[in-house]
Structures are given as C-alpha cells and as structure tokens.
C-alpha cells in the first residue's frame, strides 16, 4: 500500500512535543506523567504484559515528554523485519550507551563506517573452525565452575554463578584473560568499572524526555569518568601488549580481529574501535547467556519428567566420565529446545528497534518516515496467541522441527533480526547447550526452596532473582 498524506506519521505521534493521540495506549494516561503509572518501576518490560490485550499489537507508551511505540505480534513484526524496508535504529537508551561502548557493534548505527568494517572483520571469529577453538575454553570454564561449587557446598546461587561462568568464558575467548571470577569474592576491578559505566549509560538513557535531562546526563557521565578511564586504559594496554608480542598462535577474538585488520590495506579499524568491540562482547556475551541458562535451570528444576528426559539424552550421547566433544553438542537436541523455549518465555535481550529506510506504511494504517522507530517487544511477541498455544506454559517440544515449520517466520526473534542480529548467537547457543550437558552429566538438582516462585530482575537484560538450587553428584 502506498503512503498517503492523510495517515498520521509515527514521528508526529512519538515526537516529544505532540500530545495528540492516535495509537492505543495503556489506560490512565496523565498529561504530565503520561503512562508511567502503567508500568512497575524496576520491571517495566514484563509489566507491559499486563496491559489489556485489546490495545495491542501496536501500543504507544508515553513517559513524560518521550513517546515509544511497541509492537507485539508476529504479523507486524514481520513487516519491521523486512530488510528492504527497515533497519536498526538507535533508541535513546541504546544511544546513551555510546558514552560507554562507543561505536561497537551493538551501539553503532547501520550507516556508520565502523559498523560495516567491524561486522565484516568479526565474521571469521564465529565460523565453525573458530567455534572449535572456543570449545575447550568453554569446557575449562565449566570445570572451574564445578570446582567452585564443590568448595561452596550443595546449594548454588544460580544467576550469579551463571554470570561468573559466562563472564569467564567470554573473557577467555575474547582476549585470553582469566578474570578470576571463581577465586574471588569481589569482582575483578575491570568488571566493577564495566558495571558502573554500564549503569551510567542506562541511567542517562532513562532520563530521556525529562526536563533538564541533558544537564543531568552530562553530570552522570562526568561522575563516571574514573571508571571509563580505567576501562579504556586496560583495553589499550591489552591491545598494545598483544601487538608487541606478535602472533603467538592465539585463536581468541582479539587475535582474529588484529590479524584480519593487519591483512587489509584500506578500511582498517583503529585500536580504540577494536577495544569497543571487545567491550561489547564482554557485556553482551555474558549478560544474555547467563540469563538464558538461569531460566533454563529454573524450568528444569520445576519439571521432574523433563529433567529425567534431559538426563537420559545426555547419558545416551556421552559417557559419564567423558567431556562432550565439539561434534556431540549438536546432538543434544532436547537441551537445545530447552534453551530455545527459555528464550521464548524470557528473551534475555527483551526487544529490538526498527525504523524505515524510506517512507512506508505499517499494518495498513500507520505511515512511517525515516527518523521514526518502533520497538519489537519480545516477551509479548513470543506470547502471541495467534502463534503459540497456551503461550505461558514452558514446553520445549514447541521447537520440534515439525512444530517450527508450522509457525510464521518472524514469530521467534530472541537474537534480533537481519544483518543486525546478534553476531555471536552460535557462540551463545553452543556454550549454553554444553553447560547443560556437563551439568546434567554430573549432577542431580532440585529447588533449594520448594516454595520458590520465579522472580525476575530487569537490568540491561532479564535475569531470575533469588533462584537457588540444591545439587548432588550423580
């Protein structure tokens, strides 16, 4: 359908100075606060699932002067995922992270020079041969986790321990460094600085639309300067030391980036951007995967029949005293479905934003122009009742091949879409399945508190809170 001048544009409706309303919105909107009362402070993403079904699939949310459009079904998401019409757009929240991560892959706009250069440079880091090199690093980190558990006793604190594991895995795979997560009670100084800088970026993004937000953001960024300097200095020293040492046969992500960069005559990345890429992978590569693993372990612990099936699959593929080989990981099909279903119910990166390349019409009604954008709300998309039967129930068999073929192509998007989808998704999936296989091979487990009800913390990602399991050797 061609765009028509009678249709309201998303820019007009989302812009900070327009109070007119055409989109459905949550009930109880106030002139100054907007729709802030319709969400839970500290849990805005999942509280949107409580909005009335009749206002979806396209909803406008207003927070003070800032307006956002959320999409929550497969049909409209399919339009936004059309690469010939739409591309990634940096929302205010993501753009604010540039004070921390610069123009790394996640925070760069698609049209920026360094995004394309870095994307092409990093592709060899996620080939099959590269994944084979990461496999033993993953096994070593898992072994360190098990040693850590055996020192601590039979009750494990799931989310923090999965974060320890995934942070160690990505740091060793990214730049060959052990951050000592299993030997220390307090985080490595680099991790503390990274968390502080990340929180600053998130908070400045959250201020968008508030009166005086620019001044407040500038103050917060200045207050965080010490942490940012520490991060920048450590990355600069890491890259300089690797350059000085030369090629010693390392196969980590930094080695691949430096060798690929050196092979180019033109269009090279400077060391600052290479540092941004390493930082991006540290943040994205451990937060999202640790959440997915934590949710998977929760659901396994709640379903004794599913847990028995998972144990049986592992026992049928790998000997009890052997570590899974790289080629065996793809054979753990039930474990992969458990991860997929965990990411359906609890997509740890809960949304992605899209904007039009040129003027177009969405859902046969809304005119969008370059500069407009909408956010795909993944928890809502993954519960679309037109696609998912009994959508709130955890059922890994939704991802049997025959079931997957029945569903619309864009009904499940935990890693984003198109060329801006997560470049490290195969790394994350391999790591997740491998951890489940090793854990099931070694342990029985159950809830430490039989009355535990799943609680979720929203930060950059979704993460279970207070989840503890009791483990015992098989």
- For 22, phi then psi, to 5°, come to -125, -35
d(CA 226, CA 464): 31
73 and 121 fall within a common domain: no
Residue that terminates a domain, selected from 391, 406, 421: 406
State the Cα–Cα distance between residues 140 and 176, nearest whole angstrom: 12
- The total number of structural domains in the chain stands at 2
Cα 143 to Cα 438: distance, rounded to the nearest angstrom: 9
- CA distance to 43, 125, 395, 467, per residue, from 36 (Å): 12, 42, 33, 29
Whole-model pTM: value is 0.91
pLDDT of residue 111: 85
Q: What is the pLDDT of residue 227?
A: 82
Task: Classify residue 109: in a domain, yes or no.
Answer: yes
Both 286 and 210 in one domain: the answer is: yes
State whether 283 and 385 are in the same domain.
Answer: no
Whether residue 229 is contained in a domain is answered as: yes
454 found inside a domain: yes
Are 260 and 387 in the same domain? no
Same domain, 265 and 381: no
Task: Choose the weakest-confidence range: 63-77, 238-252, 396-410.
Answer: 238-252
pLDDT in tens, 101-153: 889 999 999 889 999 999 999 999 999 999 999 999 999 999 999 999 999 99
Q: Find out whether 324 and 438 touch, Cβ atoms under 8 Å.
A: yes
Annotated catalytic residues are 288, 415, 422
In a domain, 190, yes or no: yes
Helix (H, G, I), strand (E, B) or coil at 155: strand
Evaluate whether residue 37 is within a structural domain: yes
| CA–CA gap between residue 151 and residue 180 (Å, rounded) | 15
- Residue holding tokens 């809502």? 380
Q: What is the extent of the structural domain holding 117?
A: 103-303+445-473
Q: Per residue in 301-324, pLDDT tens? A: 999 999 999 999 999 999 988 999
Instruction: Give burial (CB, 10 Å; 0-12/13-18/19+) of 266.
Output: exposed
Q: Which residues pair with 352 in a beta bridge?
A: 376
Please, how many CA atoms are within 13 Å of residue 164, restricted to the half-sphere of its CB?
23
How far apart, in whole angstroms, are the C-alpha atoms of residue 433 and residue 142?
12
Residues 283 and 397 in one domain: no
Q: Is 81 known as a binding-site position?
A: no
Does one domain contain both 268 and 154?
yes
**In terms of domains, do 207 and 354 share one?**
no
Q: What is the pLDDT of residues 251-273, one digit of tens each?
A: 899 999 999 888 887 888 999 99
Instruction: Work out whether the CA dihedral 91, 96, 97, 103 comes out positive or negative.
Output: positive
Asked if residue 210 and residue 241 are part of one domain, the reply reads yes
Asked if residue 71 and residue 23 are part of one domain, the reply reads yes
């Amino acid at each position: 359908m061609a765009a028509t001048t009678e249709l309201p544009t998303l820019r007009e409706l989302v812009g900070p100075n327009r109070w007119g309303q055409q989109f459905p919105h949550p009930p109880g909107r106030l002139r100054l606060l907007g729709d802030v009362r319709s969400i839970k402070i500290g849990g805005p993403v999942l509280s949107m699932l409580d909005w009335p079904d009749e206002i979806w699939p396209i909803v406008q949310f207003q927070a003070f002067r800032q307006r956002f459009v959320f999409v929550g079904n497969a049909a409209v998401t399919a339009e936004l995922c059309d690469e010939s019409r739409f591309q990634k757009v940096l929302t205010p929240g993501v753009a604010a992270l540039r004070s921390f991560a610069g123009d790394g892959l996640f925070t760069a706009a698609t049209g920026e020079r360094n995004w394309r250069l870095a994307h092409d440079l990093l592709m060899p880091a996620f080939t099959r041969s590269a994944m084979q090199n990461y496999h033993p690093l993953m096994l070593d980190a898992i072994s360190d986790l098990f040693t850590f558990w055996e020192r601590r006793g039979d009750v494990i604190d799931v989310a923090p321990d999965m974060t320890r594991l995934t942070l160690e895995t990505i740091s060793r795979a990214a730049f060959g460094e052990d951050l000592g997560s299993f030997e220390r009670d307090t985080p490595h100084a680099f991790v503390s600085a990274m968390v502080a800088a990340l929180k600053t970026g998130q908070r400045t993004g959250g201020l968008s639309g508030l009166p005086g937000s620019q001044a407040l953001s500038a103050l917060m960024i200045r207050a965080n300067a010490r942490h940012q300097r520490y991060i920048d200095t450590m990355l600069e020293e890491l890259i300089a030391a690797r350059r000085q040492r030369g090629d010693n046969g390392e196969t980590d992500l930094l080695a691949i980036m430096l060798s690929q960069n050196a092979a180019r005559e033109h269009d090279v990345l400077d060391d600052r951007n290479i540092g941004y890429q390493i930082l991006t992978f540290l943040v994205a590569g451990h937060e999202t995967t640790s959440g997915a693993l934590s949710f998977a372990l929760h659901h396994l612990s709640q379903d004794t029949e599913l847990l028995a099936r998972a144990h049986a699959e592992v026992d049928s593929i790998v000997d009890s005293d052997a570590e899974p080989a790289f080629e065996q990981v793809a054979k753990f099909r039930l474990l992969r479905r458990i991860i997929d279903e965990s990411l359906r119910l609890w997509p740890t990166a809960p949304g992605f934003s899209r904007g039009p390349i040129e003027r177009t019409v969405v859902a046969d009604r809304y005119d969008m122009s370059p500069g407009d954008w909408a956010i795909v709300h993944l928890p809502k998309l993954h519960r679309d009742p037109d696609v998912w039967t009994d959508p709130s129930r955890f059922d890994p068999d939704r991802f049997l091949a025959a079931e997957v073929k029945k569903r619309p192509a864009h009904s499940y998007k935990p890693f984003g879409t198109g060329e801006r989808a997560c470049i490290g998704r195969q790394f994350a999936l391999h790591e997740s399945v491998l951890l489940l296989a090793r854990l099931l091979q070694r342990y029985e487990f159950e809830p430490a508190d039989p009355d535990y009800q799943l609680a979720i913390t929203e930060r950059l990602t979704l993460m279970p809170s207070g989840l503890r399991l009791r483990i015992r050797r098989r």
